[in-house]
Amino acid sequence: MAHVKLFIPGPVEVSPKTFEAFCSPMIGHRSKSFQELYAGIMPQLQALLYTRRPVFLGTSSAWGIMEGAVRNLVSRKVLNCMCGAFSDKWFDVSQRCGKAAEALQVEWGEPIRGEAVAAKLKSGEFDAVTYIHNETSTGVMSPIEELAEVKRQFPDVMFIIDTVSSMTATRLAFDELGFDVMLAGTQKAFALPPGLSVFVCSEAALAKAKTQPDRGYYFDLLEFEKNAEKTMTPSTPSISHIYALKSKLGEIFAEGLDARFARHVKLAGMTRTWAAKHGFTLFPEAGCESVTLTTVNNGARPGGRVVDVQKLVDLTKQRGFLINGGYGKIKGTTFRISNMGDETEATMNELFAALDEAMQEL
* Residues of this chain that bind ligand PLP (CB under 6 A): 10, 61-63, 86, 132, 134, 136, 162, 164-165, 185, 188, 194
Which residues 6+ apart lie within 8 Å of 171 measured at CB? 50, 257, 261
DSSP 3-state of 261 = helix
CB of 36 to ligand PLP, least distance (A): 28
Smaller CB separation from ligand PLP, 18 or 165: 165
Q: How far apart are CA 183 and CA 64, in angstroms?
A: 10
Which is nearer to ligand PLP, 10 or 304 (by Cβ)? Answer: 10
Nearer Cβ to ligand PLP (134/334): 134
Q: Residue 295 and residue 149: Cα distance in Å, rounded?
A: 28
Query: What's the rounded Cα separation, in Å, for the pair 274 and 314?
Result: 18
DSSP-assigned beta bridge partners for residue 281: 297
Tell me whether residue 194 or residue 299 sits nearer to ligand PLP (CB atom): 194
Q: What is the DSSP letter of 328?
A: G
Shorter beta-carbon distance to ligand PLP: residue 83 or 354: 83
Q: In sequence order, what E strands does the chain have?
A: 5-6, 55-58, 77-82, 100-105, 128-132, 134-135, 140-141, 158-162, 181-185, 197-201, 281-282, 293-297, 321-322, 334-338
Amino acid at 273: T
| Min separation Cβ 316 and ligand PLP, Å | 21
